[in-house]
Amino acid sequence: MWLWFVLGGLLIGIAWALKFTLDWPLLIPIIATAVVVVAVATIGVLKWYFALRAAKKLQEVIEKQGTQQALNARPERRAEIQELRKQLLGGLDALKKSRLGRGGKRGGAALYTMPWYMIIGPPGAGKTTALTHSGLVFPYGSSTGPGGGGGVRGVGGTRNCDWWFTNEAILLDTAGRYTTEQDDREEWVSFLNFLKKYRPKRPINGVIIAISISELIDANEMQIEAIAKKLRSRIDEVAGQLHLVLPVYLLFTKVDLIAGFSEFFGDLKKSDRSKCWGSTIKLELPKNEPGRIFGAEFDVLVKQLHARGLKRLTMEQRREVREKLYQFPLEFTGLKKNLADLIATTFQPNTMQGTPIFRGFYFTSGTQEGRPMDRVLERMSAAMGIRSQAQNPYQQTPYQQNPYQQNPYGAQHPYQQPPQQPVVESKSYFLHDLFMNIIFPDGDIAVRSAVEERRQLFMKIAIAGATFALAAILALPGLTSYSNNKSFLAESDKCARSAAKLDWGPDMGEASDSIHQLDCLLDQLKQQEKFESEGVPLTMGWGMFVANKVERPSLKVYASQMVTGFANPTKRALEDRLRASTGKDFLGDWIALRQYLMLGKIDEKNDHLDVEWATGRFTASWASILKKGGSSASEGELKVLARPHVRYYFELLKEGRITNIELDGELISKARASLQATGIEQRYYDLLVRWLEDERIDDANDPTYDNLVFSPLDLPRSFQSRPNEVLRTYLSKSYLADKTNYKKIMGPYTAKGYAAVLLQMQNAEGLLRGEAWVVPMTSDETSANIPQWVAKVKDRYEQTYITQWLEFFADIKMKVPTSPVEAIDIYRMISEGPTPFSQLMARLQENTQFKEGEDPLADQEQANTAKFFARIDRYKKIVAPTADLENLGKRTDKIPAKFKATVEWGLGSGGDVKGHKYTDSIVKDLKNTVIKAKDSKGENFFLGDLREEIEAARASSEQLLNGCDATCVEILKPMLLDPLTVGDRPTLGNPTPQSVGPNAPPKKGISPNQTKLPKLPPGFKP
């Protein structure tokens, strides 16, 4: 935890250093300090919490195993097990209430954080004795436990262990009772697994091997190897289960059984006896030759013993003691080979599982209760044939092999001499500091085994990879968002700076380039609107969205440039248009004023601002201004570039996000007064009828045929079949006059226009009041008077409708043939196939003979009439149509009646045969006559030679018109009779136009009344 304190302090120091170095605000280092303190405190609390939780889980496992053992035990043993369980839990509870270990870990956390050591060794090795007399403090212990105090017998998985709770560590004494019962082993392995789970870093901090020196003094190589392998197997069992490479401390106990030990160290004070005697092996030494390392360290100990022995010999006066002082180093030296073999085998390298760490070997004595063994002197005596004072040279008794084992016979062996040894005070040697200064401080040495290291490495790599992937997944959106926000801000800044530099004056350069420079800023602003309407995209979110911070500055720059480059120039152009108004063109002046008013503040919410209409009109106006300013781009190209900017400008005005420019109030008043001076009937006629002439699909483009909602009708568009050929016979007087325009029937005077005009008349009051913001209504225009004025408009409209169609047909001039070839072509054209005459009659029928229930507007493309119907719907909401206006909006018979006879003659009616069928027959016969004459006479044939036949055909066709009304004759007679006339030809001998025709003098011997006429068919009613 101290590392976090150091790191936190370093970060705090850096924050305050940067504050003074970079002159940061005081708030920044204060916030940094608070964050670091909170972070370190949080880490500390979390570490404490996890330690407490792990310790609690570990205790629960121990309790559970104890309970299970009691349930599975024989009835007579349950009381004993319950008592043991009670003692163990009492020890754990005492641990929870104490402050133990390094750093004063309190309670359950101590069970997790304190080091744990496992003591193993053969039975009778003196483990319990060593712990009891070690001088360690055991805060909790059972008086009935091992050794009479300090240790607590385990239960469950630790039933074969004793628990020793010290102030510095927890010692688990296996007591030499490794069981072979499967149930016991399973519980023991389960306990180790729980240790590994809840103490994952170091389940066990080390292993202490305790082995009595008496077992090694006279052991042969096989016995040494057996002992070493058994010890190694126990170490490997624990290490393998825990996946650790553990430090192993080798304690040679009962060294007091080496002859001369008590005398050799008898002069030591208690503090000296507390020190350790042995060697701690450096961790960096090679692990492949533990026996050689032991030998070197053992030689050092022997050398020190000899030095101490010489010193003691000089100071000791008693002969028997001097003998022991001399004897002990010799006896001790004799242990080297067996001990070296033991260590070499125990710590033999194992590349598969991992070799335990040979941390050190130490010699200890808990009490001096056995008979020392003079093995060196005995071997010397045996070699020289001298009987030992201690025993029969030919026989060793069992209790001599194990001094702690009593004679089973209860009496002396006949060859055994009674032991002669002085009574020595029982003391502990070399235990206290071994635990306190060497073993316990080494708590961090245990490491994972090679296999576990590889597994952990793999896990770390996998976790690191997953963490990196997760971090990438989490960081990538943030980084992407940061990058996108940064790019957006940079692009917005770049666009705004570029737009701010635009000069719309006389030296502006190419207008299209200036508009292009505004495109970038427009795109940024529209993107901002998209963020607001659709939400911030994930690629710019994640708490990093800052693009909206530049919206207002960017909008300010854009609006300023649009006012300078667009609004002000179009405003000046419209003002010039209004000042030049003479009052003769009400509709043109009214539209100009309407357009002008949309630039300013119409009302509080700009409700009357028609964005769609204004976009089209102002796009055309601005493009025209830019073109006149010298732009090399075409007006069409300028419209395409200008349209999105004009639309966005008016959208901003509509939404109130920018302010309107100031208009000339005096000019507005004068224009309104001038428009109000126009007669009411004329004003209404222009708004209800003539306005539709200019109803455009796209207001930005010119009112061409394809761009008008109510398209006009002219002669070329009247013929669906062979228009180019027909127009060589059916000529237009208007086109012949200027070679440019054909006579047109304007859109309101077609069937679709008629339906639209009636719809406007139904909603006339809503229209007039809805558009009153342009020109206010006068006092004469009341709800009661409006229908009267609309009725007058309707009468005028229907009369104009009729006039338009009469003038259209009057404009048609039929070509007069001047040669036989022309005559053949003309007669074939007007008499064969879908004849032009029948097509003209069909157009007349479509646009004058309105069928009940039919809606011509329904045939229009919805997109083309959308704006018109939207306007009508708006008018309906302003004022609902009255009954009078509803009646005025209905069809009358005035127009159909005017042209009914003409249509019936041309197309037929009911069962009657159409008259044009017979004129076609007359013309066909005449055509055949001309062809025959031409074929027979060749180049000497002139059209005037067929005067009789042409006059007869003309007279027959004219007779077919008998009974037609005046309108029918007015429309049809020129088309039917003019081709039956012979015109001039450029050579002599040709007849003049008057030589054949209605005014031509009759041929000698023939009068017009004697001309042969075709027989009229039955059923024909002229």
Span 503-513, pLDDT tens digits: 888 777 788 88
Instruction: Check pLDDT > 80 for residue 587.
Output: yes
Distance, in Å, from the CA atom of 228 to the CA atom of 348, rounded to the nearest integer, reads: 10
Read off the pLDDT of each residue in 31-37 and give the average, rounded to a whole number: 86
Which of 13-22, 704-713, 1002-1011 has maximum average pLDDT?
704-713
pLDDT band at 398 (very low <50, low <70, confident <90, very high): very low
Instruction: Check pLDDT > 90 for residue 848.
Output: yes
Give the contacts of 493 (CB within 8 A, at least 6 positions apart). 550
Q: Single out the residue of 971, 834, 832, 956 nearest to residue 900, CA to CA.
A: 971
pLDDT band at 71 (very low <50, low <70, confident <90, very high): low
- Find the DSSP H helices in 740-814: 751-762, 764-770, 786-810
Distance, in Å, from the CA atom of 211 to the CA atom of 226, rounded to the nearest integer, reads: 13
Higher pLDDT, 602 or 311: 311
Question: β-pairing, 247-253 with 206-212?
Answer: parallel
Q: Cα–chain-centroid distance for residue 95?
A: 53
pLDDT of residue 995: 43
Instruction: Check pLDDT > 70 for residue 450.
Output: no
Read off the pLDDT of each residue in 405-423 and give the average, rounded to a whole number: 42
Read off the pLDDT of each residue in 978-991 and give the average, rounded to a whole number: 59
Q: CA dihedral defined by 577, 578, 580, 584, rounded to 10 degrees?
A: 110
* Residue 187 and residue 121 in contact, taking contact as beta carbons nearer than 8 Å: no
Q: 451-465, 586-600, 874-888, 985-999: which range is least confident on average?
A: 985-999
Instruction: Check pLDDT > 70 for residue 393.
Output: no
Span 487-504, pLDDT tens digits: 888 888 899 898 888 888
* Residue 566 and residue 645 in contact, taking contact as beta carbons nearer than 8 Å: yes
Give the contacts of 586 (CB within 8 A, at least 6 positions apart). 675, 678, 682, 683, 686
pLDDT band at 746 (very low <50, low <70, confident <90, very high): very high
Could you write out the DSSP letters of every residue in 312-348? HHHH---HHHHHHHHHHHHHHHTTHHHHHHHHHHHT-
Span 271-308, pLDDT tens digits: 888 899 999 999 888 888 898 999 999 999 999 999 88
Instruction: Check pLDDT > 60 for residue 87.
Output: no
Residue keyed to tokens 């069962």: 911
Q: Model's pTM, two decimal places?
A: 0.60
Other CB atoms within 10 A of residue 563 CB? 19
Nearest-5° angle of CA 971, CA 975, CA 976?
110
| Average pLDDT score, the chain | 80
Span 359-377, pLDDT tens digits: 999 999 888 776 676 655 5
* Residue 116 and residue 196 in contact, taking contact as beta carbons nearer than 8 Å: no
Q: Cα–chain-centroid distance for residue 180?
A: 62
- Find the DSSP H helices in 316-442: 319-333, 336-346, 375-384, 398-401, 432-433
Distance, in Å, from the CA atom of 159 to the CA atom of 77, rounded to the nearest integer, reads: 13
Read off the pLDDT of each residue in 387-414 and give the average, rounded to a whole number: 41
Distance, in Å, from the CA atom of 131 to the CA atom of 257, rounded to the nearest integer, reads: 18
Find residue 250's DSSP bridge partners.
Answer: 209, 361
Q: Cα–chain-centroid distance for residue 537?
A: 7
- Where exactly are the structural domains of the chain? 201-385+426-448, 477-678, 690-814+851-890, 907-1010
812 by DSSP, 3-state: which? strand
pLDDT-above-70 percentage for the chain: 78
Q: 177-191, 206-220, 733-747: which range is least confident on average?
A: 177-191
pLDDT of residue 159: 56
Q: 294-303, 451-460, 865-874: which range is least confident on average?
A: 451-460
Distance, in Å, from the CA atom of 94 to the CA atom of 273, rounded to the nearest integer, reads: 31
Distance, in Å, from the CA atom of 885 to the CA atom of 766, rounded to the nearest integer, reads: 11
pLDDT band at 380 (very low <50, low <70, confident <90, very high): low
Distance, in Å, from the CA atom of 474 to the CA atom of 472, rounded to the nearest integer, reads: 5
Distance, in Å, from the CA atom of 614 to the CA atom of 599, rounded to the nearest integer, reads: 9
Q: How many angstroms separate the most distant Cα atoms in the chain? A: 197
Write out the two tokens for 973: 């007679």
pLDDT-above-90 percentage for the chain: 29
Helix (H) or strand (E) holding 164: strand 162-165
Instruction: Check pLDDT > 80 for residue 449.
Output: no
Instruction: Check pLDDT > 50 for residue 231.
Output: yes
Distance, in Å, from the CA atom of 623 to the CA atom of 642, rounded to the nearest integer, reads: 7
Q: What phi and psi values does residue 362 have, to the nearest 5 degrees?
A: -145, 150
Span 521-539, pLDDT tens digits: 999 989 888 888 888 887 8
Instruction: Check pLDDT > 60 for residue 394.
Output: no
Higher pLDDT, 394 or 226: 226
Nearest-5° angle of CA 143, CA 146, CA 148?
35
Give the contacts of 699 (CB within 8 A, at least 6 positions apart). 612, 613, 615, 616, 617, 619, 620
pLDDT of residue 67: 59
Q: Cα–chain-centroid distance for residue 159?
A: 59
Read off the pLDDT of each residue in 564-585 and give the average, rounded to a whole number: 92
Write out the two tokens for 499: 């737009």
Span 42-65, pLDDT tens digits: 877 776 666 666 566 656 656 665
Higher pLDDT, 938 or 635: 635
pLDDT band at 1021 (very low <50, low <70, confident <90, very high): very low
Which of 137-146, 172-181, 402-411, 942-951 has maximum average pLDDT?
942-951
Distance, in Å, from the CA atom of 198 to the CA atom of 322, rounded to the nearest integer, reads: 56
Distance separating the N- and C-terminal Cα atoms of the chain: 120
Q: Single out the residue of 205, 339, 348, 338 nearest to residue 290, CA to CA.
A: 348
Give the contacts of 184 (CB within 8 A, at least 6 positions apart). 159, 160
* Residue 783 and residue 764 in contact, taking contact as beta carbons nearer than 8 Å: no
* Residue 260 and residue 218 in contact, taking contact as beta carbons nearer than 8 Å: no
pLDDT of residue 151: 62
* Residue 813 and residue 731 in contact, taking contact as beta carbons nearer than 8 Å: yes
Instruction: Check pLDDT > 60 for residue 1000.
Output: no
pLDDT of residue 143: 44
Span 798-818, pLDDT tens digits: 999 999 999 999 999 999 998
Q: Single out the residue of 441, 459, 392 nearest to residue 169, CA to CA.
A: 441
Instruction: Check pLDDT > 60 for residue 912.
Output: no
Distance, in Å, from the CA atom of 981 to the CA atom of 828, rounded to the nearest integer, reads: 15
pLDDT of residue 519: 92
Q: Single out the residue of 200, 205, 258, 213 nearest to residue 50, CA to CA.
A: 200
pLDDT of residue 984: 53
